[in-house]
Amino acid sequence: MIELSNVHKSFGSKQILRGVDLNVARGESLVIIGGSGTGKSVTLKCVLGLIMPDQGVIKVDGEDVTQTGDRDAFLAKFGMLFQGGALFDSIPVWQNVAFRLLRGTLKRPRSEAREIAIEKLRRVGLSPDVADQLPAELSGGMQKRVGLARAIAADPEIIFFDEPTTGLDPIMAGVINDLIREIVVEMGATAMTITHDMTSVRAISDTVAMLHGGKIRWSGPVTEMDSGEDPYLQQFITGSADGPIETLR
Ligand SMILES: Nc1ncnc2c1ncn2[C@@H]1O[C@H](COP(=O)(O)OP(=O)(O)OP(=O)(O)O)[C@@H](O)[C@H]1O
Ligand SMILES: [Mg+2]
């Protein structure tokens, strides 16, 4: 469903991606792990076409993302939870969640869009009371969940979650992990998730890929992660200060 081959991306003189190869099968849940600043978010943004790679090819469902004729139709396949939430601060929560259902190719009648928004809010553990509030009136964890509700609002085929559990309490993180797993299983969606939370990795992934030094350092089924012999992988999953990963950035 998603194929990256030899993807390179630099910003000025900073080389971030130096030949990323990655494949995600339809209905698979892939989790990307790796240190802060290694280019995980940049990788997701390249797949969405929000950032253009300098080199390499990215295909979604066989289609080259840099060559898509109809961007609206291409983007309609995706749901995305941005790392920073990226909610629109001047419109109420329900209109954030239903944003794509209120305009463009996925447009629905307003009352139906509102109902869907309230149902998606419920799925992420938020009561209908929040629907008419503004994002600024919510806590950080609640905003995160609104972002998640927006990502799943239009029942996308492909979902990207950038740090879905960061800033949530352990119980709510568990709820969100279960929800992500459910979305993949029930909706048959293909998911790419970025997380630092190893509990989350174990709860939601079929496969794991570790980004380091601009490349995929290790990838494989989550069941093989603990026995993976790569020292970078082991240092990361055990959270050890000692190992080959440079901690000064
Ligand atoms: N639009 C941009 N312009 C310039 N530099 C950028 C841009 N986006 C990202 N970068 C740089 O690319 C590097 C990788 O950023 P990215 O956001 O992908 O990191 P990350 O792996 O997601 O880290 P974290 O775990 O902290 O979220 C960083 O050094 C960042 O400063
Ligand atoms: Mg990031």
For the chain, the C-alpha Rg in angstroms (whole number) is 18
Q: Which helix (H) or strand (E) holds 23?
A: strand 14-24
Atom of ligand 1 nearest to the CA of 211: 21
Which residue lies with its CA nearest to atom 7 of ligand 1? 11
pLDDT digits (tens, 9 = 90+) for 153-186: 998 999 999 999 988 889 889 988 988 898 888 8
Q: Which helix (H) or strand (E) holds 229?
A: none
Distances (CA, A) of 163 to 14, 98, 130, 215, 245: 23, 21, 22, 20, 21
Share of the chain above pLDDT 90, in %: 71
Closest CA to 186 of 215, 155, 165: 155
Distance of alpha carbon 29 from alpha carbon 180, whole angstroms: 9
pLDDT, average across residues 102-122: 93
Instruction: Report how far ligand 2's centroid is from the alpha carbon of 39 (Å).
Output: 7
Poorest-pLDDT segment among 25-29, 98-102, 171-175? 171-175
Distance of alpha carbon 231 from alpha carbon 235, whole angstroms: 6
Whole-structure pTM value: 0.90
What confidence score (pLDDT) does residue 111 get? 96
| Residue extents of the structural domains in the chain | 1-70+158-165+190-244, 78-155
pLDDT, averaged across the chain: 92
CATH superfamily of 1-70+158-165+190-244: P-loop containing nucleotide triphosphate hydrolases (3.40.50.300)
pLDDT of 245 higher than 70: yes
Which residue lies with its CA nearest to atom 30 of ligand 1? 37
pLDDT, average across residues 219-238: 93
Check residue 1 and report its DSSP letter: -
pLDDT, average across residues 35-63: 93
Closest CA to 98 of 84, 86, 116: 116
What confidence score (pLDDT) does residue 33 get? 96
Share of the chain above pLDDT 70, in %: 99
Question: What is the pLDDT confidence band of residue 45, given thresholds at 50, 70 and 90?
Answer: very high
Contact (CB, 8 A) for 192 and 47: yes
